[in-house]
Chain A
């Protein structure tokens, strides 16, 4: 581990003013410490050897009082400014993590789960306090202050200056050597912590199922095992981490002792006076103090730095992978810049959406699903996608949305005049503006029913929301009804209907619905299907349904049966993720 990570510095630009102020105040504090040592040494030696009283020492005492007061205020200002720096940096990091997190979770890329990303953006980032508020401002101070102090000592006693001046670099060497060893252990500790968070969340969220099968109590043992593994790994890391602190403290205190003994002997020999001796004795620890604090802050910030490595892995590295995936998803000719993309769509009321031979290789499964799916749809039509489980029906919807990459075939918009526009060349945001999607497990947030509709239909008016809810048979529900987490307060059928309602409220040109009537009784199913049919026939939308039940298939103009096929390229096992 290098003591300074460039990427952390890059983010630190958010707080560069605060950091500079913090460092300047640190330098001021060092100057004041030197002044304080001189005043104290002067006062003690003249009272002890010169027999001076308050009458002659009045000026010294007044100056000392001033120095002490200014030192106190400096320390306060230094701390406040450092914490503000940390707060600013953390906000920036959180934003970067969450933005990338959304991109990762929206696609079908393997990667950290939602819980892990949240842990990183909150607890992980909070662990950075120690780094930005303490360690980073201390770094330049640790370089400058010892030099200044040694110079001040050298002005009075060259031998002591040499002792201090030699031990300080020695300590630095030790810190670097031990720090390298510590790094490996630190990384292991952070991994243990992440595993722990993931395991705990998984278990707590699955508690109902675990209880049904009588396995909930048994999880205590596994929880204890995981925690104990965490303890063992942490202790291994601490045993080494504390070694570096030990070396630092050992050499710092030992050299102060050596300086003191040396001064004592030279005083006896008469080659040094008491005033100088005391000045050096008081000042010597100040040379080690910045280094000691640096070591302290370095270890206090180790968890933060590990968290940050995970954060930057999330923010930086996948960028390449994401771009590659997106190229694949959009079949974008590599030389074509996004700026050259079309900025307008053909008139969707007259255009045709054509899906031709679309094939998707399922990551981690030796399966092509869908395998060569083809259909065409125009405004006012309803197409039902059917097929066995795992035939790739949901994947095809994701491909049309641009959320999943396709490995074969094309998806094209064909305008009235025959002009074609591959979806891959479109800005996905432009395209998605005209599309609404009801996924298999729609997400409902805590909040009012209206909030949940506006989650994906931000512009919907109160009237539009009322109409959309009425259309799916939720006429008994007040839009201001408060829902709990995950739509708690509604049955699963009602949740699904809310999802259909909000898709309708988007007023889409293309409506993609994944199993619209699962969980509904026959009567409600008819209401929801009627609303979807009205959307197609009345509002002239294209509607693509993933359907299992006969009633849903019956409302469609065409049924497209999808099928999957074993991936021939995966037979050698290389496709296994």
Chain B
């Protein structure tokens, strides 16, 4: 991940080079200001004609002006470049998640996901302006100063080089070694707190209703103080780096003074240069001291990158074919032979030896008790999950195609899902329905909503189609949410449509009315109804049925819920 961010720097190298140039100039100005001032004062003490000092006076003033200006010129392009890199990193991360979801992220806690994806991806933005560029600038200016000092007093130059290495490399290293263990403690502590906090807030109504919110808050306070402990320990580590840096900076000044005094006595340098030799180390160490936070940044970025790698490096739940077969023309039937499915390679079989056939335009009824793998079957047909055994085929007039030979997106152009508990996005009703077909007009959206029996209700809303649904559709009832999902499916208009318990949350009268509309929506399509509601079962009049109950394998079958969750909602 870090390598990737470094490579992405290539795309914005112009901005980065500009920043490097200006930054080096700014840092060099600061050091040169000290050096020329020291020389000016020392030379002035010999009281030469003032004309002899004019060059030095001009130089001192110039360095005094250039530093601030160059520093400003350094910062803007660096931050602009890093934010451009961030956009690229973020969309790459999303592309990877898109391949993993939903089956490959099944066990991932979303509170953790939030904290990881937003915070970790965002922290990578610091790599160039807070790590790479400061190191490059400091290295260039330090090397130059060491050469100047060494030319005057070789030993002072050597001492400066050594102490700069200690301050610039040794100090951060010392700080890093001490802080590494604490940092390793901070990240999990923060993750645990974040996940627990999201649980707490999502469960808040139930917890308050049960009068146990105080207990859960106390539990969270323990996690929070664990985080505090980890942070306090990390602070001591960062301080260690500061100690080493300050000691080496002191040593540099002290040794420069010692060597300088000896050199003046020995006639190695004129007295005029003594102040330069003594003051340059102070300015240079001040520059290197500014690098102290860099080491902490490196540690932080590395653990963020590791965590990101942990999520993004998971295996794909579905192997996309390298050269997907072309999608044959419809209409489509379905043929399933000896199908098995499981969520982890070494996990239990959720489906095992399922045979099933459905002609184009026919209706099927899939039944079975809770946990018999009904939703897992849907996951396989939607190409969210590869079969572990057997095959699932789309039967087109031109012949059958194994869905593993098709791109997942192509399969989902044919197979649609009307899920239960489908999430709503924090947007308007119209946008939530329109995501099923982005080019749909308002009239088409409204028509889909009408078929889902929501039109009357929408008339009562203050903003009609433009009404916001709230986070996770919080302002809608369960039945209304289910109907919006149905409206999406109607609008999406897929040749094969899987209804996953579509009338589950609806009251009798509405469900009865809806059943007729469901069948109307299913008309002309190949439809699979997953249900255990008697009235829907009775109404479907299926050409094919699949009863997964007979295939239910005791306890193992209960694990199929992973399927239900994976298909319907994270």
B57 at the interface (CB under 8 A from A): yes
Inter-chain contact B560/A256, CB cutoff 8 Å: no
Inter-chain contact B462/A524, CB cutoff 8 Å: no
Binding-face segment, A137-145, A217-225, A337-345, A407-415: A217-225
A577 to chain B, nearest CB (A): 8
Residue of chain B at shortest CB distance from A257:
B64
Report which of B87, B272, B419, B470 forms a contact with A212, defined as CB distance below 8 A: B419
Residue of chain B at shortest CB distance from A481:
B558
Report which of A196, A523, A576 forms a contact with B462, defined as CB distance below 8 A: A576
Q: Cβ of B417: which chain A residues have Cβ within 8 Å of it?
A: 212
Inter-chain contact A491/B370, CB cutoff 8 Å: yes
Q: Which parts of B459-499 form the interface with A (CB within 8 Å)?
A: 460-463, 467-468, 470-472, 475, 477-480, 483, 488, 492
A65 at the interface (CB under 8 A from B): yes
CB-CB under 8 A for A234 and B211, given A83-B232, A389-B506, A515-B478: no
Q: Cβ of B371: which chain A residues have Cβ within 8 Å of it?
A: 490-491, 493-494
B contact face: mostly helix, strand, loop, or mixed: helix
Inter-chain contact B61/A524, CB cutoff 8 Å: no
Binding-face segment, A270-278, A321-329, A348-356: A270-278
B563 to chain A, nearest CB (A): 8
Q: Cβ of B160: which chain A residues have Cβ within 8 Å of it?
A: none
Residue of chain A at shortest CB distance from B47:
A268
Q: Cβ of B205: which chain A residues have Cβ within 8 Å of it?
A: 105-106, 398, 403, 439
Inter-chain contact B114/A197, CB cutoff 8 Å: yes
B377 to chain A, nearest CB (A): 13
Q: Cβ of B238: which chain A residues have Cβ within 8 Å of it?
A: 79-80, 83
Q: Which parts of A48-87 form the interface with B (CB within 8 Å)?
A: 48-49, 51-54, 57, 61, 64-65, 68-69, 71-73, 75-77, 79-80, 82-84, 86-87
Report which of A77, A234, A267 forms a contact with B41, defined as CB distance below 8 A: A267
Inter-chain contact B101/A207, CB cutoff 8 Å: yes
A309 at the interface (CB under 8 A from B): no
Inter-chain contact A204/B97, CB cutoff 8 Å: yes
Inter-chain contact A208/B384, CB cutoff 8 Å: yes
Inter-chain contact A246/B561, CB cutoff 8 Å: no
Inter-chain contact A520/B209, CB cutoff 8 Å: no
| CB-defined A-B contacts under 8 Å, sample of 25 | A47-B260, A47-B265, A48-B42, A48-B264, A68-B253, A75-B243, A76-B243, A77-B239, A95-B221, A105-B205, A123-B118, A206-B423, A208-B566, A220-B98, A234-B79, A235-B80, A245-B75, A253-B67, A254-B64, A394-B477, A443-B203, A456-B206, A484-B562, A521-B532, A549-B508
Inter-chain contact B64/A258, CB cutoff 8 Å: yes
Report which of B109, B209, B460 forms a contact with A403, defined as CB distance below 8 A: B209
Inter-chain contact B254/A263, CB cutoff 8 Å: no
Q: Cβ of A258: which chain B residues have Cβ within 8 Å of it?
A: 61, 64
A235 and B567 alpha carbons, distance in the complex (Å): 40
A357 at the interface (CB under 8 A from B): no
Q: How many residues of A contact B (CB 8 A)?
A: 182
Q: Cβ of A252: which chain B residues have Cβ within 8 Å of it?
A: 68
Inter-chain contact A281/B38, CB cutoff 8 Å: yes
Q: Given contacts A91-B224, A267-B45, A491-B375, could you give 12 more A-B pairs where the C-beta distance is less than 8 Å?
A: A43-B257, A48-B271, A68-B254, A87-B228, A101-B200, A118-B115, A123-B118, A205-B569, A220-B95, A257-B60, A485-B109, A494-B370
Give the one of B45, B208, B279, B468 with max A CB within 10 A. Answer: B45
Q: Cβ of A570: which chain B residues have Cβ within 8 Å of it?
A: 462
- Chain B 107-123 per-residue mask, 1 if CB under 8 angstroms from chain A, else 0: 11111011101110000
A418 and B470 alpha carbons, distance in the complex (Å): 43
A119 at the interface (CB under 8 A from B): yes
CB-CB under 8 A for A48 and B41, given A99-B217, A102-B217: no
Residue of chain A at shortest CB distance from B278:
A44
CB-CB under 8 A for A102 and B370, given A207-B98, A403-B208, A441-B421: no
Inter-chain contact B37/A257, CB cutoff 8 Å: yes
Inter-chain contact B47/A389, CB cutoff 8 Å: no
A203 at the interface (CB under 8 A from B): yes
A156 at the interface (CB under 8 A from B): no
Q: Cβ of B554: which chain A residues have Cβ within 8 Å of it?
A: 476
Inter-chain contact B50/A94, CB cutoff 8 Å: no
Report which of B40, B64, B190 forms a contact with A264, defined as CB distance below 8 A: B40
Q: Cβ of B478: which chain A residues have Cβ within 8 Å of it?
A: 389, 394, 440-441, 515, 518
A122 at the interface (CB under 8 A from B): yes
- Chain A 98-132 per-residue mask, 1 if CB under 8 angstroms from chain B, else 0: 11011111100010011101110111001000000
Q: Cβ of B243: which chain A residues have Cβ within 8 Å of it?
A: 72-73, 75-76
Inter-chain contact B435/A76, CB cutoff 8 Å: no
A261 and B58 alpha carbons, distance in the complex (Å): 9
Residue of chain B at shortest CB distance from A459:
B212
Inter-chain contact A123/B94, CB cutoff 8 Å: no
Residue of chain B at shortest CB distance from A484:
B107
Report which of B84, B262, B420, B511 forms a contact with A548, defined as CB distance below 8 A: B511
CB-CB under 8 A for A223 and B190, given A214-B412, A388-B510, A493-B370: no
Inter-chain contact B111/A118, CB cutoff 8 Å: yes
Binding-face segment, A1-9, A179-187, A430-438: A430-438
A349 to chain B, nearest CB (A): 20
- Chain B 202-238 per-residue mask, 1 if CB under 8 angstroms from chain A, else 0: 1111111111110111001100110110011011101
A365 at the interface (CB under 8 A from B): yes
Q: Which parts of B36-85 form the interface with A (CB within 8 Å)?
A: 36-38, 40-45, 47-48, 50, 53, 56-57, 60-61, 63-65, 67-69, 71-72, 75-76, 79-80, 83-84
Q: Cβ of A115: which chain B residues have Cβ within 8 Å of it?
A: 114, 198, 471
Report which of B108, B114, B227 forms a contact with A485, defined as CB distance below 8 A: B108
A40 and B258 alpha carbons, distance in the complex (Å): 11
A536 to chain B, nearest CB (A): 20
CB-CB under 8 A for A227 and B247, given A207-B98, A550-B508: no
B274 at the interface (CB under 8 A from A): yes
- Chain B 243-270 per-residue mask, 1 if CB under 8 angstroms from chain A, else 0: 1001101110110011011101100000
Q: Which parts of B1-60 form the interface with A (CB within 8 Å)?
A: 29-30, 33, 36-38, 40-45, 47-48, 50, 53, 56-57, 60
Residue of chain B at shortest CB distance from A215:
B435
Q: Cβ of B566: which chain A residues have Cβ within 8 Å of it?
A: 208
A390 at the interface (CB under 8 A from B): yes
A458 at the interface (CB under 8 A from B): yes
Report which of B90, B251, B560 forms a contact with A227, defined as CB distance below 8 A: B90
A248 and B506 alpha carbons, distance in the complex (Å): 66
CB-CB under 8 A for A54 and B261, given A114-B471, A488-B107: yes
Residue of chain A at shortest CB distance from B508:
A548
Residue of chain A at shortest CB distance from B210:
A456
B516 to chain A, nearest CB (A): 17
Inter-chain contact A246/B72, CB cutoff 8 Å: yes
Inter-chain contact B108/A274, CB cutoff 8 Å: no
A44 to chain B, nearest CB (A): 5
Q: Cβ of A231: which chain B residues have Cβ within 8 Å of it?
A: 80, 83-84, 86-87
A106 and B47 alpha carbons, distance in the complex (Å): 80
Residue of chain A at shortest CB distance from B75:
A242
Report which of A57, A133, A263, A435 forms a contact with B261, defined as CB distance below 8 A: A57
CB-CB under 8 A for A101 and B201, given A118-B115, A267-B45: yes
Inter-chain contact A390/B479, CB cutoff 8 Å: yes
A13 and B409 alpha carbons, distance in the complex (Å): 57
CB-CB under 8 A for A390 and B480, given A48-B264, A208-B101, A281-B41: yes
Inter-chain contact A79/B40, CB cutoff 8 Å: no
Q: Cβ of A204: which chain B residues have Cβ within 8 Å of it?
A: 94, 97, 101, 110, 113-114, 117, 570
